[in-house]
Amino acid sequence: MNPDQPVLRPHARRALLLVNPSSRRGGDEDLQEGLDVLSEAGIEIVQQQPDSAEHMDKLIREYQDQVDMYILGGGDGTISAAASALHDCRKPFAVLPLGTANDLARSIGLPDQLSDVFRLIAADRRRRIDLGSVNGRHFFNVAHIGLGVHITYELTPEIKKRLGVFSYLQAFFRALSRKQTFRVFLQVDDRNYRQKSIHLAVGNGRFYGGGNIVDERAQIDSGELYLYSLKPQSVWELLTLAPLLRGGKQRMVARTFTAIGRRIVVKTTRPREIHADGEPAGFTPAVFEVLPNALEVFAEAPESAQAIPTIETGPSTEAGRTATAAPPASAPIDRESTAA
């Protein structure tokens, strides 16, 4: 099928369009051009402007029986705020990457040009993706404890607007002075570990923080969560580790701990704040879970998979599992980490 040739339904499709007015690219003129493409494909647009995350959640639920799909424009925070409503309403959704980092767009393989994203919607190209959950709160990309939370606080809207994706680098350097060591107890599926950490991340998607990769094996449709923890180390050691963190290759060095699993329990000696997709998500203790095939999004299906014509949600099978909870033999485990 040629994506430039829209597939028309027997009846007109209706889409609820929600765009964050403060997104960095929210005023791009190609937004209207894209809407014209959808109109030509027989898609009727119902547009509302949410003024808060709560309002976006409410609008998605309110229009559940009035539209066939949702189109959400904004950054990762905007899309993440809609995760629970999207999961509950069980309708396909599209992402217009109008934010600073657009890590979810990268994880699902959206093209760089907004016009090409609209063509995917018009051509009805869809794929299934997983959804992460921490203590019942849904997220798409990555949840952080420790250093990552401090980085989030340094990412003010003013800095993101001024520096764009480079704001993540500046936030990282500023947060280094606030790094703290904490003791963490982990249960990854049926394996238990205890260790000291300065930063812990649990990823459902592949990308976070402006293009960093949570794990080079990670995919947003794998049915697995990807965890890495940084043991206490100096600022210089962290800086030398940065290139590996960028490429998701941190398991290659002994200063990190990595694991893969479907259910991860994190306990700390005292409550630690959790941020998921850049937003506060409660405190430890925490239970992380993956919801396989939870959502259907407009995007090209991976080459190894075929487009799914329906939007029914089905459970994953053991055959679909890509890895185990135990780190691979090539990944050194923190010597303080012990299987209980």
Residues sharing a CB contact under 8 Å with residue 310, sequence separation 6 or more, in sequence order: none
Q: Above 70 in pLDDT, residue 158?
A: no
Domains and CATH numbers, the chain: 13-124 (3.40.50.10330), 137-290 (2.60.200.40)
pLDDT band at 269 (very low <50, low <70, confident <90, very high): very high
Q: Above 70 in pLDDT, residue 267?
A: yes
Instruction: Determine contact, residues 207/201, Cβ cutoff 8 Å.
Output: no
Token couple for 54? 């709560």
* 284 vs 299: CA distance, rounded Å: 34
Task: Report which of 142, 138, 124 is spatially closest to residue 38, judged by C-alpha positions.
Answer: 124
pTM: 0.79
Higher-confidence residue of 55 and 154: namely 55
Sign of the alpha-carbon torsion through 256, 257, 262, 267: negative
* 69 vs 16: CA distance, rounded Å: 7
Kindly state the average pLDDT of the residues 204-209: 93
Task: Report which of 209, 236, 81 is spatially closest to residue 152, judged by C-alpha positions.
Answer: 209
β-partners of residue 74 are: 97
β-partners of residue 275 are: 144, 280
Higher-confidence residue of 333 and 104: namely 104
* 186 vs 202: CA distance, rounded Å: 12
Task: Report which of 93, 74, 75 is spatially closest to residue 84, judged by C-alpha positions.
Answer: 93
Kindly state the average pLDDT of the residues 204-218: 93
The pLDDT tens digits of the residues spanning 187-201 come to: 999 999 999 999 999
Residue whose token pair is 């994203």: 117
Q: What are phi and psi of 156, to 5 degrees?
A: -75, 155
Q: What is the pLDDT of residue 29?
A: 74
Residues sharing a CB contact under 8 Å with residue 173, sequence separation 6 or more, in sequence order: none
The pLDDT tens digits of the residues spanning 6-65 come to: 444 445 799 999 998 776 554 567 788 999 999 999 999 999 989 888 999 999 999 999
Q: What is the pLDDT of residue 178?
A: 61
* 215 vs 2: CA distance, rounded Å: 33
What average pLDDT does the structure give for the chain? Answer: 81
DSSP string, 159-172: HHHHHGGGHHHHHH
Q: What are phi and psi of 164, to 5 degrees?
A: 65, -140
Higher-confidence residue of 321 and 286: namely 286
Higher-confidence residue of 173 and 30: namely 30
Q: What is the pLDDT of residue 310?
A: 36
Residue 302: cis peptide before it, omega within 30 degrees of 0: no
* CA-based max dimension of the chain: 62
Q: What are phi and psi of 101, to 5 degrees?
A: -95, -45
Task: Report which of 282, 274, 253 is spatially closest to residue 184, judged by C-alpha positions.
Answer: 274
β-partners of residue 154 are: none
Token couple for 172? 């990282």
Q: Above 50 in pLDDT, residue 317?
A: no
* 124 vs 3: CA distance, rounded Å: 9
* 256 vs 198: CA distance, rounded Å: 10
β-partners of residue 319 are: none
